[in-house]
Amino acid sequence: MSSAKSHFDQPRLNELFDDLNATLKDFIRSHQVTYKEFHQALAFLGEVGEKGETPLLFDVFLESTVDLVNNSERGGTATAVEGPFYLPGMPELKSPCVVPHRANEPGDVLFFSGTVRATDGKALPGAMVDFWQADAEGAYSHFNIPQEKAPFNLRARVKADDHGRFEIQTWVPSSYEIPKGGPTGALLKALGRHAWRPAHLHALVQHPGCEDLMTQIFLQGDQWIDSDVVGAVKESLVAGMQKHEDAAEISKRGLKGPFYTLEFDFVLPRGMQKAA
């Protein structure tokens, strides 16, 4: 989340920019960067801006390191990168709830549930769980699916109940591939790297008096779990879904076919309340 500060602290700006500039000059010298390469870099960055991929590029190549540097000392649930697809202004729902979805939402139904607690073990009634994910075809609403077609699809801001419990009915996400049509995907391809992220659920969990938790839950067994292009997987965030095929269970939930459940508790460090 961005800070409310309107300008960079001057000594810090000098420290960061001067070292970045010196590092890049060293890089140019040590690799004997040619004019052709220099112009290719300029064209690449121009295209990144033009196609709106600046957040994607930074998140793919750099954000997991920013997460490690800032969050390695925290207690509670491990953090994970925010990524480029969070949206403010999501519909506010109360647990238990069904996320916004299309009439013919593809894939299997998933009930994602758990309890939000503080590091001292106390449940956190009314905790807010901002939730977003890709659909069963690997598409994020408003980014890969036009907003008009499916506003806030598979996104919601869910308020936990009086016991800190949340239950969100959603649809099992698929693995996510960085779009091939843009410069970030083209760079990965040129590097000979795959462009996949393992299937994941995003959550930003908040409660007054606790530190915000920005994290992701990864689906166990995904083929990309050990080679996330973003490098954001942490073992403690990998969770297994349970499949439910029993006819009575299916009809009790008002569904037509097998569904999945996933239980995951979020633990937030006690801390200072953030200034607005």
Q: Which stretch binds Fe ion (CB under 5 A): 80-88, 148-156, 220-228, 233-241?
A: 80-88
Concatenated DSSP letters for 226-253?
T--TT----GGGEE--EEE--HHHHHHT
3-class DSSP assignment, residue 107: coil
CB of 87 to Fe ion, least distance (A): 12
Please pick, from the candidates 176, 196, 218, 224, the single residue that binds ligand MBD as defined by CB under 6 A.
176
Helix/strand/coil for 19: helix
* Residue the block writes with tokens 């994970």: 80
CB of 59 to ligand MBD, least distance (A): 4
Nearer residue to ligand MBD within complex by CB, 84 or 183:
84
Q: How far apart, in whole angstroms, are the C-alpha atoms of residue 123 and residue 176?
A: 33
Tell which positions 20-79 bind ligand MBD, by CB under 6 A: 56, 59-60
CB atoms within 10 A of CB 274: 13
Which of ligand MBD, Fe ion, none is residue 112 near (CB under 5 to 8 Å by kind)? none
Answer yes or no whether residue 225 interacts with ligand MBD by CB under 6 A: no
Q: Between residue 99 and residue 128, which ones bind ligand MBD under the rule CB under 6 A? A: none
> Which distant-in-sequence residues (6+ apart) come within 8 Å of 204 by Cβ?
82, 86, 129, 130, 212, 213, 214, 215
Closer to Fe ion by CB, 113 or 175: give it: 175
Does residue 179 bind ligand MBD (CB under 6 A)? no
230 binds ligand MBD (CB under 6 A): yes
Residue 114 as a binder of Fe ion (CB under 5 A): the answer is no
Pick one of ligand MBD, Fe ion, none as the site partner of residue 57 (Cβ within 5 to 8 A by kind). Answer: none
Selected binder of ligand MBD within 76, 83, 100, 114 (CB under 6 A): 83
The residue within the footprint of ligand MBD, chosen from 57, 85, 110, 211 (CB under 6 A), is: 85
CA distance 68 to 232: 9
Kindly tell me which of 118 and 187 has the beta carbon lying closer to ligand MBD.
187
83 touches Fe ion (CB under 5 A) = yes
Which residues contact residue 229 at a Cβ distance below 8 angstroms, ignoring those fewer than 6 apart?
60, 178, 188, 193, 194, 195, 196, 197
Helix axes 63-71, 54-61, angle to 10 degrees: 60
Q: Does the protein bind ligand MBD through residue 197 (CB under 6 A)?
A: yes
- Whole-angstrom distance, CA of residue 154 vs CA of residue 166: 16
Give the chain's radius of gyration (CA, Å).
21
Site residues, ligand MBD (CB under 6 A): 56, 59-60, 81, 83-85, 176, 197, 230, 232
Residues that bind Fe ion (CB under 5 A): 83
